Chain A
């Protein structure tokens, strides 16, 4: 699996303290981290800022502190924490994505009002608490194991498993509700 080879390569670079150490890590992870943040905050511009913060934090931490055991989960932990902090700060002017508004304003079940399947998924995800959304994204989209999700979210493994189950159920609920609102 490509991801695994990336991970092992990056970890090797950490161990060696090598030439191009952080550059390699960055090259291997920036796209994934950015896409994860995009989906977590539903905003490409904000995600860009968050991705930059994430890698600056990682760089500073790796420059000055001990190396993480699991670089992959550690980077996602920084990204998640950075995103949650930003979302807390912006809560005063945060609103649902406009696409979400249009669902409620859609008049009638005309085909033009129907949302595509993928948009429906995105909206269902957007309706979840962010921690639940992070859980699902990390596990299903970024391919993190339960143990890695636990590390990224600062939970015990059992707590991460429970949250993942709850998040899956909540997503299912939201998805079915949106499907019914939009109509057949």
Chain B
């Protein structure tokens, strides 16, 4: 038996799993072979060696903080599931309150300071104007403060709370931070870093050091968290000398540097300095890092296909700038009711999961109904102010999931509730017409007694769209055929094309994305025949950063534009956008094409909480208004900043204003 044979048998020899004869032969070889004896010693020590592995850098310091961070994220997930009514075995009894309390105790405080880290290189920060005065009415949006670094032309904007609450227990960072500067669009905010909520933070404006400067490489690079940036490649890029913002966590933690280069935002992470003898490889690693940065484009404009009428490109708005006023009404048409006052703050990370439904009646002026947090609200001024709507006729236990209107008979309104389907005429009391727990509802444009409803699939093979021929009393399956038949799929949206009442669109969601495709768009007819519509380049696929899991649809019959929103996924890494199709009604479904109307959110920071933009309804009068709800709940941070937003666009989804939402929860 030679060394090669023995080495292959040593693990079994150590375990005593060889036959007696082989044990003896291996022992015999070992007795005369020092090399194999060394190997035997390693094998025998291996359990102890591996059991005593050192912790990677920073691990021991991070364990408790991580515990709080995951607790918070799990609590956010529990709330998310509760909102959606996902079957939640644990939800009612989770003990996260205790964990969250620990999280609060662990918040070391927030130190927001312009104190330079290295005096000779970093510019000082000084407070600039507050933006509070521009907000006419109290809104959930906090006032902000901008800090400027004059010599670098770079700014940091953050909630004003940060200046008041400089440090101390119980301080929670709001989880967003806006960076500004030349070539830096106002919507380029850093947000959602859970670390912001749980570590002491120091914000400094600095310049990215030159990779060859010895003092600049005191910190070697640990990692650029790439897990959520799939459009990564080797990039020849030098950021040396450019302005950046540094977020410093606890002293022994990785530092993050956010830098802007040619309109793109880069995130760099550094580990603490190393011993001097390691400077050479540190230099090499740092240099390599600068050449291999992930990037996130900050400004995006829609690129419509050639020959399609195009909207004006997205103007770059500066912080504090009031959004463009809506277009004047067309001559000859009645003066529309005043547009809602919008806040000057643009596209804060919003949330919309609480806004499950919104409809605009065809009456003039229109009435806007919204279901928010399970309650019905009504707005007579296009979403500026809201009031709770009567629940007369509904059982107290009813939780609302949606509202629908019969567009041919706008006095007829439907309510989708946990206790069944309700209808009312005018302002009369709600009357129960079915025990159907619907997730979406549409009224036929030809026969008002024909209704389509979306439902949650509770049995294998069950249809997620049902049809009723008798005003909602009885229901029968109406498709669509799904590729897989897991439980947990549901139709979240059903639209009837007002220009062609024989055409419907529907969105099918899945709460088990690992088992069933999610966010599928279907087109069907009144006979229940459906086909899935491709989103072309936006079809979800691993590696496709523009993957769109359709989170909602809305149709503008005048412009013939079908809008589709998207939800965060591992594929798109949080690149949340609004698509529109100018020919979603084309006879040949294969010819339907899609274009980006707007990137609502970009994958700036990894976070596992959901984010979406959900087109809800179109008010087709002039000025046309597309309503959408958006949300990004950042890792359990449920500060008012991060709840939800109702947005309105008057230019086919390119620019969006945040509705004031006065009167909404």
Chain A residues with CB under 8 Å of chain B are 17-24, 26-27, 30-31, 34-35, 38-39, 42-49, 51-53, 55-56, 59-60, 62-65, 86, 89-90, 92-93, 95, 98, 101-102, 105-106, 112-113, 117-119, 121-122, 125, 136-137, 140-141, 164-165, 168-169, 171-172, 175-176
Contact = CB atoms under 8 A, between A and B. Distances in A.
Contacts of B71: 26
Contact of A20 (B95, B254, B281): B95
A34 B51 contact: no
Contacts, number: 191
B53 interface: yes
Nearest to A140: B50
Contacts of B47: 140
B58 A45 contact: yes
A102 B220 contact: no
A55 to B, nearest CB: 5
A114 to B, nearest CB: 12
Given A39-B56, A101-B285, A168-B11, A46 B93 contact: no
A34 B64 CA distance: 11
B479 interface: no
Interface string B1-40: 0000001101110000000000000000000000000110
19 contacts: A20-B93, A20-B94, A24-B95, A44-B55, A44-B62, A51-B70, A52-B608, A56-B77, A64-B488, A92-B292, A98-B281, A102-B281, A105-B278, A112-B277, A121-B50, A122-B53, A122-B54, A136-B46, A165-B11
A65 B70 CA distance: 21
Interface residues of B, number: 76
Contacts of A112: 277
Given A21-B89, A44-B56, A172-B43, A105 B50 contact: no
Interface string B63-83: 100110111011001100100
Interface of B: 7-8, 10-12, 38-39, 42-43, 46-47, 49-59, 62-63, 66-67, 69-71, 73-74, 77-78, 81, 86-91, 93-96, 98-99, 220, 222-227, 230, 232-234, 254, 269, 274, 277-278, 280-282, 284-285, 288-289, 292, 294, 488, 511-512, 606, 608
Contact of A63 (B69, B91, B98, B277): B91
A60 B77 contact: yes
Q: List 3 tightest A-B contacts by C-beta distance, closest first.
A: A23-B95, A20-B95, A101-B281
Nearest to B229: A89
A63 B82 CA distance: 11
Question: Which residue, of A55, A90, A122, has the highest number of chain B Cβ atoms within 10 A?
Answer: A90
Given A23-B94, A92-B234, A175-B42, A35 B55 contact: yes
Contact of A44 (B59, B69, B224): B59
